[in-house]
């Protein structure tokens, strides 16, 4: 009977191997699917020197996975997430600040050009004075419009980080739930490859949102923690991330009843990228623009206060400045009229002494955050230039991160992905194996019939 048993075991083993290959081919385009293979082993013979063996058996289904390549995939997801999220914001601010129709430099130039026009023609001309007021108002609008762009980005950043936190909580809960299912299924000797694939994809999604460390446990579960050491998943226990506050957003992490403060600047991934953009780029450029608006308004107002208006009265402030005022950060004082412009230095309507001093403000220096002391005429150009450098650096880092991610995916695919040609070969081999064993069964059956006939 051993020949029948051997052939039957071979036929059954080839069927299982064919089923495994068919599963691989069916999931040829399934994202994150890890290919499997039937591991065959000979069944030991019974006692006796003339016993060849008792056929073949499938000892397990091997899952083709390389932990190093998987970890590389997750690390590359974190780096890509960090640079990809900040680039759209950088590009938007760079375009707005460098656009001639919206740039601060153009507005400042037009304001001082209007002052020069008055000095070169007639300081008592109402139309020319009106041009100064109009140019001043337009310059203020440019500051306010740019400040509105900054504030809109701040609001978008906070909303986006809140959405990232919500999405991360979903991924963390999924990982913890799958840990439980994998541990229970493994204990019941059930194939858990599909569950592991689902968990790995959840970890990959989480890795894109923040930098993580993953550690395998003996029961098949995986613990996940932030690079800073705070645990996100401990077996079947999931942490909860939180974002609170409006203008000053704070982040926390709670696990097993204990709450930790989370520093988003060190979080990595999308959360860290957005936070670093706000801290290193947006906040400094916002403050720099506010510094320029504040000091420019102060210089103009102080110089006007040193002169005389058309009626010989003391000069009045032309601009009002409100720190963090959004659309009203800088504006021409309410009710300010052309005759209030104090161009005279001695009270004579035709005198331009104080007007000449106003014109020189453009070549004076202002202290701008991130730049130091710079000329009024150069401040905006230097802010835009610095922003351009930061944008180019981020683009280069983003391009590198994308290349690393692509390479990591290719490396993972080379080990874990389904190879159509390889599976086609396996199908032919296992089909031949099945047919050969069925032929053995046919031969064994013929021999058995012949033996019965001889004995009859």
pLDDT, tens digit, for every residue of 175-187? Answer: 999 999 999 998 8
pLDDT score of 47 more than 80:
no
Q: Give the other-Cβ count within 10 Å of 270's Cβ.
A: 26
Using CA atoms, how far apart are residues 84 and 272, in angstroms rounded to an integer? 11
Region 413-436 average pLDDT: 93
Rounded to whole angstroms, what are the CA distances from 334 to 147, 293, 315, 317, 327? Answer: 20, 18, 15, 10, 15
At residue 78, the pLDDT reads: 95
CB 139 within 8 A of CB 107: yes
Percent of all residues in the chain with a pLDDT value above 70, rounded to a whole number: 98
In a domain, 55, yes or no: yes
At residue 188, the pLDDT reads: 84
Place of tokens 């309410």: 334
At residue 325, the pLDDT reads: 64
157's enclosing H/E stretch is helix 126-187
In this prediction the pTM is 0.88
pLDDT score of 1 more than 60:
no
In a domain, 199, yes or no: no
CB 379 within 8 A of CB 292: yes
Using CA atoms, how far apart are residues 409 and 64, in angstroms rounded to an integer? 15
In a domain, 211, yes or no: no
Region 333-355 average pLDDT: 92
At residue 50, the pLDDT reads: 67
At residue 170, the pLDDT reads: 97
Rounded to whole angstroms, what are the CA distances from 208 to 92, 125, 167, 222, 272? Answer: 23, 63, 11, 18, 10
In a domain, 125, yes or no: no
At residue 79, the pLDDT reads: 93
Percent of all residues in the chain with a pLDDT value above 90, rounded to a whole number: 79
pLDDT score of 37 more than 90:
yes
Q: Give the other-Cβ count within 10 Å of 151's Cβ.
A: 16
In a domain, 159, yes or no: no
- Both tokens of 424, joined, read 């086609």
At residue 305, the pLDDT reads: 95
Convert 325-339 to b/e letters by CB count within 10 Å (16 or more is b). beeebbbbeeebebe
In a domain, 121, yes or no: no
pLDDT score of 364 more than 90:
yes
Residue 49 pLDDT class (50, 70, 90 cuts): low
In a domain, 150, yes or no: no
Q: Which of 11, 106, 90, 112 is nearest to 58 (CA)?
A: 11
| Mean pLDDT score of the chain | 92
Using CA atoms, how far apart are residues 44 and 53, in angstroms rounded to an integer? 5
Beta-strand ranges (E) seen in 258-328 are 258-262, 319-321
Report DSSP letters for 168-190, one per residue.
HHHHHHHHHHHHHHHHHHHHTT-
Q: What share of the chain is helix, strand, coil (3-state, %, to 5)?
A: 65, 15, 25
Region 162-166 average pLDDT: 95
Using CA atoms, how far apart are residues 313 and 14, in angstroms rounded to an integer? 105
At residue 395, the pLDDT reads: 95
Q: What is the largest distance, in Å, between two alpha-carbon atoms of the chain? A: 144
Which residues, at least 6 apart from 385, have a Cβ–Cβ distance to it below 8 Å? none
Domain count of the chain?
A: 1
In a domain, 18, yes or no: yes
Sign of CA dihedral 167, 169, 175, 180: negative
Domain that holds residue 45: 2-64+418-455
Which residues are registered as beta bridge partners of 40?
58
């Amino acid at each position: 009977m051993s020949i029948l048993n051997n052939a039957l075991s071979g036929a059954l083993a080839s069927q299982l191997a064919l089923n495994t290959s068919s599963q691989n081919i069916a999931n040829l385009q399934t994202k994150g699917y890890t290919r499997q293979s039937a591991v065959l082993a000979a069944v030991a013979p019974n006692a006796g020197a003339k016993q060849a063996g008792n056929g073949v058996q499938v000892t397990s289904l091997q899952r083709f996975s390389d932990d190093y390549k998987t970890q590389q995939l997750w690390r590359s997801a974190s780096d890509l997430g960090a640079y990809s999220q900040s680039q759209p914001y950088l590009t938007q601010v760079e375009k707005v600040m460098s656009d001639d129709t919206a740039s601060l430099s153009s507005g400042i130039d037009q304001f001082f050009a209007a002052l020069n026009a008055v000095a070169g023609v007639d300081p008592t001309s109402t139309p020319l004075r009106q041009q100064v007021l109009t140019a001043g108002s337009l310059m203020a609008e440019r500051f306010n419009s740019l400040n509105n762009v900054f504030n809109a980005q701040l609001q978008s950043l906070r909303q986006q980080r809140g959405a990232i936190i919500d999405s991360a909580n979903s991924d963390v809960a999924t990982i913890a739930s799958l840990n439980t299912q994998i541990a229970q299924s493994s204990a019941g000797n059930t194939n858990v490859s599909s569950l592991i694939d689902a968990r790995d994809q959840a970890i990959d999604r989480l890795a894109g949102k923040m930098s993580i460390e993953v550690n395998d446990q003996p029961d098949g579960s995986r613990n996940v923690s932030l690079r800073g050491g705070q645990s996100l998943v401990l077996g079947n226990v999931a942490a909860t991330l939180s974002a609170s506050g409006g203008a000053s957003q704070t982040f926390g992490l709670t696990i097993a009843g204990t709450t930790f403060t989370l520093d988003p600047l060190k979080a990595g991934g999308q959360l860290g990228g957005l936070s670093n953009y706000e801290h290193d780029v947006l906040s400094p450029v916002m403050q720099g623009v506010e510094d320029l608006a504040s000091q420019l308004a102060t210089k103009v107002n102080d110089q006007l206060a040193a002169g005389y208006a058309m009626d010989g009265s003391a000069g009045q402030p032309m601009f009002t400045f409100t720190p963090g005022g959004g659309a009203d950060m800088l504006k021409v004082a309410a009710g300010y009229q052309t005759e209030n412009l104090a161009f005279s230095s001695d009270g004579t309507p035709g005198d331009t002494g104080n007007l000449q001093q106003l014109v020189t403000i453009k070549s004076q220096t202002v202290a701008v955050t991130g730049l130091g002391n710079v000329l009024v005429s150069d401040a905006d150009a230097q802010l835009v230039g610095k922003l351009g450098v930061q944008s180019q650096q981020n683009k280069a880092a983003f391009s590198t991160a994308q290349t690393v991610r692509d390479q990591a995916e290719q490396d993972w695919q080379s080990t874990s992905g389904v190879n159509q040609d390889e599976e086609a070969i396996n199908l032919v081999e296992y089909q031949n194996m099945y047919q050969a064993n069925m032929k053995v069964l046919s031969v064994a059956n013929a021999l058995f019939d012949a033996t019965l006939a001889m004995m009859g």
